[in-house]
Amino acid sequence: MSDDNKIIEVKNLSKQFKELKAVNDLSINVYTGDVFGFLGPNGAGKSTTIRMLLTLISPTKGEIKIFGKSLRESRIEILRKIGAIVEKPDFYGFLSAYKNLEILAKLSGIESPNIRIMEVLELVGLDKRFKSKVKTFSHGMKQRLGIAQALLHDPELIILDEPTTGLDPQGMKEIRDLIIHLSKDQRKTIFLSSHILYEVEMVADRMIIINKGSTQVEGNVEELLNRNDLKVSFEVDDTHKVLQLLQETSWIKKLNSKTKNQVIFSLKNTEIAQLNKYLVDNKISVSAVVPTRSLEEYFLQITEKSL
Amino acid sequence: MIFSLISIELSKIFRKWRTYIGFLAIAILVPIIQIAMLVEGEKSINFMTRNLQQSFIFVGNLLNGYLISYAILNALVVHIPFLITLVAGDLLAGEATAGTYRILVTRPVSRFKIVFSKFLGGFIYTNLLVLFLAVMSLGIGLLVFGVGELIVIKNVNILILSRTDVFWRFILAYGFATLSMTVVLALAFLFSSLVENAIGPIVSTMAIIIVFVIISALDIEFFQSIRPYLFTNYMQSWRSLFDDPIDIQDIIKSALVLISHVIFFFGATVFIFNKKDILS
């Protein structure tokens, strides 16, 4: 992709908090129209990075360019074209949803925001509660109001920091659908932070995985998820019998490990069905076939380590 | 844009119940003092003038609205700052507590404008509170007790100001009181930028004012040497407006010292807020 298409260009970004290096030499490129997944376990430095992108905190080192302009030099011009949710959405609880959005619309330079406010409230399903004070809202409702305020001024770039946190499965699906709608129908560029690989996989085109403030993996989501063999677990009644059967075949080279009821192979996508057929044809009872992608396993490992 | 920001800040200030504590306190306290003066006022005046009564005969309405208002202004010098800090301490720290810094600072508005509009919002609240005090004490005082000469006791001297020569002094005194309260506002606002909870700025500002007022009041040589450096020392200069003749130089000097404090505290707040990492 050409440099002209870059919406976010982060170079060698670092943030030091006293003893803690929250972000370490991080570089990110996000292109126009991307749904960019920003993945990492809790404490990986995602929110710190997002806060730097939104000028909430200043970097210790490095450079941020958004829409081709230096964030330090063109802060206001850049923020005019960004909508964001940073961590949990907090509002003025003593004010109504409408009044909160009215304040934020005025701060964004919208002179007559009434129609737009009701549009975004309707989009997130809060139009019937526009008069209610925000302190009466559930977490999920505040999360949806957070999305409404991010969309209020029709930004080109939307930064969403863990937007589905605290939502029920239906709410999570609605947010995913909304992200797809904003990307495909409204041509917005979306920077989506999450600690759930599945969530990013469902909507993102490109992604980066960070841990301890540094880049671990970066690239196209589909390619990253399928670039290596899958680890496929076959649940069988007799693992000893399986090993005996495969001893003289080429499948044995693909054996990864075994437990009491499972044999795990490193296979290409197309080989799963072939091996399954071979086992069944040879009277092995296969009760389940569970594929695990290497990236998924890797992400699980770093997530577990961070806990 | 700045007017829009100020109106936003005012709408936030006046939709919080804590804003009305100050007005409520004045609405309760001032009438209590006025009722007490109505009942016991004559005795107090006789006590104040007992030495002079041996040589002079006092005629006319000495227990008047001016005297009541003057007494109230003297009595509330430590209490009004507390009512100011209730709102001023919350202006920035309240955003941190609520987590709303995030939605505020990510908008296309400079941090200076955010701080400036908040300070102006606090300044308007301060003006309204002092104005309310003036209306309650002077306005109602004049309505209930009528006009008359104002007796002012200064150390060993008693000054009697003509009824036609008092009202303008009160207008200027309330103006000066507003300036003094603006220093309190600026100090609490500065503390508010440093913390994430409004209680800290309220307690810190009041602690400083109480300590400074005590130091200013103690007649100890060491304290006298540091007194010129305490802003509270200049907050009392409104009393000079009830001298005859008025020491204009002293009042101007005090006003300039107070304005310098406001500028310094506000400048420090802007500097801190511009550098601040929003982590809440």
Cβ of B1 within 8 Å of Cβ of A80? The answer is: no
Cβ of B100 within 8 Å of Cβ of A86? The answer is: no
Tracing tokens 């309505």 back to the chain, one arrives at B143
- B90-98 and B199-217 are packed helices; what angle lies between their axes, rounded to 10 degrees? 160
pLDDT score for A299: 74
- Which site among A20, A47, A56 would you substitute to test the B interface, given the most B Cβ atoms closer than 10 Å to its Cβ? A56
- The 3-state DSSP class for residue A108 equals coil
- The 3-state DSSP class for residue A235 equals strand
Query: Among B11, B103, B277, whose Cβ lies nearest the Cβ of A58?
Result: B277
Residue type for A173, please?
K
d(CA A206, CA B139): 70
d(CA A20, CA A250): 50
| Domains contained in chain A, CATH given | 3-225 (3.40.50.300), 228-306 (3.30.70)
Which contiguous run of DSSP H or E holds residue B35?
helix B19-48
Residue type for A48, please?
T
Q: Are B265 and B187 in contact (CB under 8 A)?
A: yes
pLDDT score for B52: 67
Q: What angle do CA A123, A128, A134 make, to 5 degrees?
A: 90
Q: Are A15 and A59 in contact (CB under 8 A)?
A: yes
Q: Which residues pair with A38 in a beta bridge?
A: A193, A208
pLDDT score for B213: 87
- The 3-state DSSP class for residue A113 equals coil
Burial class (CB in 10 A: 0-12, 13-18, 19+), B228: exposed
d(CA B142, CA A39): 70
Residue type for B11, please?
S
- pLDDT level of residue B218 (50, 70, 90 thresholds): confident
Range in A200-214, B164-178, B262-276 with the lowest mean pLDDT: A200-214
Query: Among A86, A92, A106, whose Cβ lies nearest the Cβ of B98?
Result: A92
Pairing between strand A82-85 and A35-39? unpaired
d(CA B59, CA B153): 18
Residue B190 predicted with pLDDT over 60: yes
B15 neighbourhood in chain A, CB within 8 Å: 94-95
pLDDT score for A103: 93
d(CA A43, CA A61): 19
Whole-number percent of chain B with pLDDT over 70 = 94
- pLDDT level of residue B254 (50, 70, 90 thresholds): very high
Cβ of A107 within 8 Å of Cβ of B100? The answer is: no
Q: Which residues of chain A have pLDDT under 50?
A: none
A248 vs B115: which has the higher pLDDT: B115
Range in A271-280, B37-46, B229-238 with the lowest mean pLDDT: B37-46
What is the per-residue pLDDT across A201-225, written as a single tens digit (0 to 9) for each?
Answer: 889 999 999 988 888 888 888 777 7
pLDDT score for B74: 83
A57 neighbourhood in chain B, CB within 8 Å: 277-279
Nearest-neighbour CA in chain A from B7: distance (Å): 10
Cβ of B277 within 8 Å of Cβ of A91? The answer is: no
- Answer whether B27 touches A (CB < 8 Å): no
Chain A nearest-CA residue for B4: A106
Report the length, in residues, of chain B: 280
- Which site among B106, B112, B117 would you substitute to test the A interface, given the most A Cβ atoms closer than 10 Å to its Cβ? B106
Cβ of B99 within 8 Å of Cβ of A92? The answer is: no
Strand ranges inside chain B, DSSP E: 150-154, 157-161
HSE, side-chain direction, 13 A CA sphere, residue A275: 31
Give me the torsion for CA of A179, A185, A186, A191, rounded to 10°: 30
Phi, psi of B251 (to 5 degrees): -70, -40
HSE, side-chain direction, 13 A CA sphere, residue B42: 5
Whole-number percent of chain B with pLDDT over 90 = 56
Q: Are A275 and A265 in contact (CB under 8 A)?
A: yes
- Answer whether B272 touches A (CB < 8 Å): no
Cβ of A90 within 8 Å of Cβ of B100? The answer is: yes
pLDDT score for A100: 95
d(CA B275, CA B249): 39
**DSSP assignment, residue A186?**
T
ipTM: 0.80
pLDDT score for B148: 86
B43 vs B173: which has the higher pLDDT: B173
Query: Among A89, A92, A107, whose Cβ lies nearest the Cβ of B109?
Result: A107
Residue burial B140-162, b: 16+ Cβ < 10 Å; e: rest = bbbeebebbbbbbeeeeeeeebe
- For the record, the structure tokens of B120 come out as 């102006």
